[in-house]
Amino acid sequence: MMTLIFFIGVLVALFILGVPVVASIGLTCLAVLWYENGLAAIPISLLPLKMMHGVNNFALLAVPFFILAANVMNKGSVTTRIFDFANSLVGHLRGGLGHVNVLASMIFAGMSGTAVADAAGLGALEIRAMRDQGYPLKFSTGITGASSVIGPIIPPSVAMVVYGWLSDVSVGALFIGGLIPGVLLGVALMIMTVVLSFRIPMPRQPRPPLSEIARLSRSAVLSLLTPIIIVGGIWSGIFTPTESGAVASAYALVLGTLVYREVGWKDLLEVFKNTVEFTAVILFIISVAGLYGWLLVRLQIPMTLAEGVVHLTTNPILLLLILTVFFMVVGCFMSVIESVLIFTPIMVPMVKVLGIDPLFFGVLMVITLSVGVITPPFGNVLFVLVGITGQSFETVVKAHIPFLIPILATIVVLILFPGIVTFLPAQFSGG
């Protein structure tokens, strides 16, 4: 127990001091090894091997491919085509472009896999369109950020790839399990938009003729095929979740360079550069997390924590509610991927003891942590929207408060009805 307290204490202390997450994890590992066995006993030659072992995993190959696909999509007119298509379907409903914002994010989530990519790719387009039609900037900012939370939930999801690797849960099952919760969250945000439409002005557009809808559908059809190809390919067994990343990136490159002809050589160089930089950061964090996970198992910290939790409560719903609050607090200070890397090795053995399905827990964990992208002080999407809108950080934060209600309501529904997550994966596996 003293080792557990020391482990958590050092990690939290380094976070408070402002040490970067990856450095905090590495220094904590060294501090614990020193605490346990003394400085001379630290296995220096073993540490690099454990770090390399952390990234030597086939499933992680999907990460750079999904990042590449998102970057290519953001370079061309894919976002515009998706937005126009969504506008033709739901722009005439009460709430107008608020619904368009959510639907476009749901579609783009099937291509990007991250909240930041969604906000950066669609955000500027959505906010500009809503501003031109007279929507309050506060509402436009809030719904844009809130809808980006769907990005890590609907497949593909980089965070779920990482969780699946750490927990030994099928990445394909996690992808499929995120579909219904992602759609449910989108519907909840649309309902909130309708509620707000009675208080704030939201211009409605005339219903477009079927010929216009058909024209915009043809324009967007190749882009819309991306999530269908990814999910359908995994579901049918044509390719693995890892291979789906390669398929998605290849498809995005073909669309951008050969079909739409909007991504030139200079654009490609920038895309590859950004992809390599982002991938290098993530994989370095994962390598350090590999050392961290090995040390946790060696010191039996997950088992000790699990025993303590079992003595505290054996009620799965109560435990999940407690963990939801915990993850929301964590999400305020760390990115989704960093949080998944740190807490998955600790939490998964614990929830297994209480009979909670690790597949369900993974989806719930990713959704809950994703709320952190729109909460201060370090919400990445908040900073993206500050740059897009020119508003102060405080104003952007306040704009998101009403939309936390449907997000939290969705999380509670999932906790009460875990079958929402596990139903489709069971069909996928034939169970």
118-173 residue pLDDT tens: 787 778 888 988 988 889 999 999 999 999 999 889 888 888 988 998 898 988 89
Residues 269-291, mean pLDDT to the nearest whole number: 82
Does residue 159 contact residue 109 with C-beta atoms inside 8 Å? no
350, two tokens: 């614990």
Q: What percent of the chain has pLDDT over 70?
A: 93
Residues in contact with 157: Cβ distance below 8 Å, sequence separation at least 6, in sequence order = 113, 151, 174, 175, 178, 366
Any idea what DSSP says for residue 357?
Answer: -
In this predicted structure, the answer to whether residue 328 has a pLDDT above a threshold of 50 is: yes
* DSSP run (H or E) holding 257: none
pLDDT the model gives residue 42: 61
